[in-house]
Structure 1
Amino acid sequence: MDILDQKLSRKQASDAVGAQGWRLLLGALRASVPVRSLAQAVEVAASAVSACGEDADGHLHVDIRPGRVVLTLQTLAQAAVTGRDADLAEQLSAVVRAAGLRTEPELATETGAAAGTETGAETGTPAVRSVQMLEIAIDALDIPAIRPFWQAVMGYTDEAEPTCSGAGLVDPVGQGPAIWFQQMDQPRPQRNRIHFDLCVPHDEAQHRIEAALAAGGRLVSADEAPAFWVLADSEGNEICVTTWQGRDATP
């Protein structure tokens, strides 16, 4: 196997591209490129595909919006980040810089109008949304019994590389959040059994948590931080803010 095709640990992947503005989210590298129009977004996307060459189909995903382009890199055949993805991230950042733009996690301090982002483009409000990925977690006593229902009703398919007995489901066209199943050991009617998992850049988690607490939320648990923090609204509905950190067997 080519050394570039070897999987990277979470820390290796994050360290390899962090300075370029890319962030590791749920086993993929992701970066946002602020643009000023849909036409410019299409140009950036075309340049990214061209820069990846033959590797584009097997590694690159592009989300095009009038205010930004989100670039995602993952070795699809392995459902993981490899050295090739890290190499492609550097190439794409260089292409974006050559166009007078930049790859960034989109935690902007500039106004949206100045940065060309979709957030605050007319009001001048600072853009504070970062790249992120959302999962829905369903607690269940009998995962094999309920999993087919959710797969059928959502039109989802199996994740590429199941990592646990509650193997996740993903949207085959990439429009909806992934769904995964968490094993319960006893009935739990006193609390919600479906919650959100929000994967954010490791260097933005504290900001997001502080904002949620200031907005009336409460910290339920930080026992597993920095892998995840459990937050809840005033009525007890929960969300986990997650990062890649604290998950590798070795630092």
Structure 2
Amino acid sequence: MPSIVASGLRERHPDNVAMEQVLSRQEASEAVEDAGWRFLLGTLRTSVPVGSLAQAIAVAADAVAVSGDDADQHLRVDARPNRVVFTLQSLEHAAVTTSDVELALRISAAVNGTEPGFGTAAPRSVQVLEIAIDALDIAAIRPFWKAVLGYAAEAGADGPEDPLVDPVGQDPAIWFQQMDEARPQRNRIHFDICVPHDEAAHRIDAALAAGGRLVSATRAPAFWVLADLEGNEVCVTTWQGRD
């Protein structure tokens, strides 16, 4: 849906310099879906299958080249011998913008015969893992987790209850869930696995077939709560159902 940029979501600065606009979840997802990207937790991601590390580096270099001066502030690359994962997000806004959509379409057109996609020549597609910590007093425990992990606040979100992220982008983000009362007999740290919206049902079915159980689907499709045989919980999440 390249018309996102042309339809007026992009404004003009008085001196005619284009200004990027933050997109809604729906807009971001629809804008790149046909180009082989998926919207996950405020980012655009795609996985490009490759045959060697040398090819992975070449594909990454092509993406950086077409991104130009915007690469450093928007593009992140994970290059492996069998795949390259591209992530796009405006670091200034900590969100997906019209600039990220433009870059996604440029990168898709520049991968020289390798097609962005999901699951091709790879065991799974793109996903994002977060760790959720339940707390009675989030402001009191947040500094501990920030210090012990060497984490930092996201751009524009350094309040006493805001999430924490790895400043070098290697490890999962941490967010804090408000508890109403103590739960000493229940786990208070759980994983959130964010998957493409069109893959959630398959992931849940696989987890249930592997011995899990469905705890709750009341907030689906934003998230489903699953548990293993001993009650340890994980949420399978998507961007849908959050607006």
Fold agreement, TM-score > 0.5 = yes
2:115 aligns with 102
What amino acid is the match of 1:10? R
Pairwise CA RMSD:
1.4
Deviates more, 1:17-26 or 1:153-162: 153-162
Match for residue 188 of structure 1?
183
Tell me the CA shift for residue 175 of structure 1: 1.0
C-alpha distance in structure 1 between counterparts of 2:32 and 2:142, whole Å: 36
Structure 1 counterpart of 2:60: 45
* Structure 1 runs (4+) greater than 6 angstroms displaced: none
Does 2:191 correspond to 1:176?
A: no
Superposed displacement of residue 75, structure 1: 1.1
Q: Deviations over 1:50-88 (max 9, x none)?
A: 000011111111111111110011111011111111111
> 1:165, CA displacement in angstroms?
5.8
Do the aligned residues in 1 keep the contact of 2:64 with 2:71 (CA within 8 Å)? yes
Kindly provide the amino acid, as one letter, of the partner of residue 146 in structure 1.
I
Q: Deviations over 1:165-206 (max 9, x none)?
A: 621110011111000101111101121000000000000000
For 1:107, the aligned partner's letter is G
SS in 2 for 1:31: strand
Question: What is the match of residue 76 of structure 2?
Answer: 61
Task: Measure the CA separation in 1 of the matches of 2:32 and 2:93.
Answer: 19
CA distance in structure 2 between the partners assigned to 1:186 and 1:165 by the alignment = 20
How many positions carry a matched residue from both structures? Answer: 228
Letter in 2 for 1:79: A
Mapped contact 1:4–1:82 kept (Cα < 8 A): no
Give the 3 Å change call, closer, same or farther, for CA 209–73 of structure 1 in structure 2. Answer: same
When residues 246 and 161 of structure 1 are mapped into structure 2, their CA distance, relative to the original with a 3 A threshold, is farther
| Corresponding residue number in structure 2 for 1:122 | none
TM-score normalised by the chain length of structure 2: 0.91
Could you list the runs of 5+ residues in structure 2 that have no partner in the other structure? Answer: 1-10, 13-17
Question: Cα deviations across residues 10-55 of structure 1 (Å, max 9, x unaligned)?
Answer: 0000000001110001100000000000000000111100000011
Give 1:163 deviation, angstroms.
9.0
Q: Is the 8 A contact 1:157 1:171 kept in 2?
A: yes
Contact 1:137-1:181 within 8 A present in 2 as well: yes
Q: Which amino acid aligns with 2:137?
A: D
Structure-2 residue corresponding to 1:120: none
Task: Quote the offset at 1:4 in angstroms.
Answer: 5.5
Partner of 2:42 in structure 1? 27
Which residue of structure 1 aligns with residue 139 of structure 2?
144
The reply to whether residue 215 of structure 1 matches residue 193 of structure 2 is no
Give the 3 Å change call, closer, same or farther, for CA 90–75 of structure 1 in structure 2. same
Corresponding residue for residue 70 of structure 1: 85
User: What is the Cα deviation at residue 107 of structure 1?
Assistant: 2.8
1:237 maps onto 2:232 in alignment? yes
Partner of 2:125: 130
SS state at 2:110 partner = helix
Q: How big is each residue's C-alpha offset from its partner over 1:201-245, in whole Å with a ceiling of 9 and x where there is no partner?
A: 000000000000000000000000000000000000000000000
| TM-score, normalising length: structure 1 | 0.88
Cα distance in 2 between the residues matched to 1:171 and 1:70: 18
Q: In structure 1, what is the Cα distance between the partners aligned to 2:116 and 2:160?
A: 36
Q: What residue number does 1:11 align with?
A: 26
Work out the CA distance in 1 between the residues paired with 2:156 and 2:188: 25
Cα deviation for residue 161 of structure 1 reads 3.3
Compared with structure 1, are the counterparts of its residues 156 and 235 closer, same or farther at alpha carbon in structure 2 (3 Å cutoff)?
Answer: same
